[in-house]
Amino acid sequence: MEVNLTLGKVLEIVDGVCSSVDSDFIIKSIKSLETAESQDLAVILERGDASVFDSVSLDKIKNSKAGLILSSNADVPEKNYIIVKDAVGAFQKLVNYLNQQPVGSVGKNIDATAVVDPSAVVCDGAKIGAGSRIGALSFVGRNCVIGGCVTLHPGVKILDRCIIGDGTEIHSGAVIGSDGFGYKVTTQGMQKIPHIGIVRVGRMVEIGANTAIDRSSFGETVIGDGVKIDNLVHIAHNVKVGASTAILAHTSIGGSTQIGVGCQISGHVVIKNDVKIGNGVKIVSKSAVMNNLADGEVVCGVPAISFSKWKRISVLQLRLPEFAKFVAEIQRFIKDNNQSWFKRMVFKFFKKG
**Number of C-beta neighbours around residue 3 at 10 A:** 20
Max CA distance (Å), the chain:
95
Contacts of 19 (CB under 8 A, 6+ apart): none
The candidate with the shortest Cα–Cα distance to 80, out of 46, 39, 45, is: 39
For 61-108, the DSSP string reads HHH---SEEEESS-SSTTS-EEE-S-HHHHHHHHHHHHHTS---TT--
237 catalytic? Reply is yes
Query: Containing H/E element for 58?
Result: helix 58-63
Q: Which candidate in 153, 195, 234, 237 is catalytic? A: 237
User: Strands 26-31, 2-6: parallel, antiparallel or unpaired by DSSP?
Assistant: antiparallel
Amino acid identity of residue 256, one-letter, is: S
**Active-site annotation, residues:** 237
